[in-house]
Amino acid sequence: MSTHFSKGKCLYENPLSSLDYVNDWVLEGKANVTIMDNSLQLENRLEADKYGDKAHFVFWCPVQFPDEIIIEWEFSPLREPGLCMLFFSAAGRDGEDLFDDSLPKRTGMYPEYHSGGIDAYHLSYFRHKHREERAFRTCNLRKSFGFHLVASGADPLPPVEDAISPYYMKLVKYHNHIQFYINELLVLDWQDDGKTYGKVHKDGKIGFRQMAPMKAAYSNLKIYEAIKEQ
């Protein structure tokens, strides 16, 4: 039986319905950031066929969040192929702030995030880029430093043409315990032993990553304190 967590105090709330709400967010890589239908729409600015991995990007919320949080947002896939990911508990490898000038520059290339100057967890929840991903769809949780696949679960999200959006996404990070839900369906439930792949990551930043040519919309981002139910 899965452990349940409830929402405590709201730490951050952003409807993502205006560019004014993301004017302090940090874009790494090149992307078109627009608002449509009261949602934040993200798509690559560089052509995927021409620029390859350089066309991908990450859009970071600038707020530093504590450990033991619940992250909620609404997600709408608009164009594929592509991949969508959430970074969380992201910080420098020696505890630096994610945006510390001493850290290596990041430009959206994936190795900069999993084998560069930062530690983080990264959840891939819409993996429709490559043919093998579309043929057998999973949500993947990885831990870095390193490219460690620590958990997988069946992905209930359909292709764009069948989507009834938005989808309600919820991620629980409670010390070493990570859970991920889509429309309240538990997809992943994993506990980090703090040994196999290094120490448990705690405080840090969150960010949305997309792999070109994916286009997607995001809205109603909320972060709460997580309370473990007895």
Which pLDDT score, from 0 to 100, does residue 129 have? Answer: 85
For the stretch 11-51, pLDDT in tens is 999 999 999 999 999 999 999 999 999 999 999 999 999 99
163 domain-assigned = yes
Residue 222 lies in a domain: yes
Q: Is 223 exposed, middle or buried (0-12, 13-18, 19+ CB in 10 A)?
A: buried
Look at residue 139 and give its three-state secondary structure: strand
pLDDT band at 132 (very low <50, low <70, confident <90, very high): confident
- What pLDDT score does 130 carry? 80
Residue with tokens 């840090």: 204
Please indicate, yes or no, if residue 106 is contained in any of the structural domains.
no
Structurally, how many domains does the chain consist of? 1
pLDDT at 123 over 80: yes
In a domain, 22, yes or no: yes
Q: What is the CATH number of the domain that holds 88?
A: 2.60.120.200
- Residue 230, pLDDT > 80, answer no
Of the candidate ranges 5-14, 108-117, 130-139, 171-180, the one whose mean pLDDT is the lowest: 130-139
Q: Note whether residue 198 is domain-resident.
A: yes
Amino acid identity, residue 163? A
Owning domain of residue 150: 5-101+112-228
Distance of CA 16 to the CA centre of its chain: 15
Which range (133-137, 158-162, 173-177) has the least confidence?
133-137
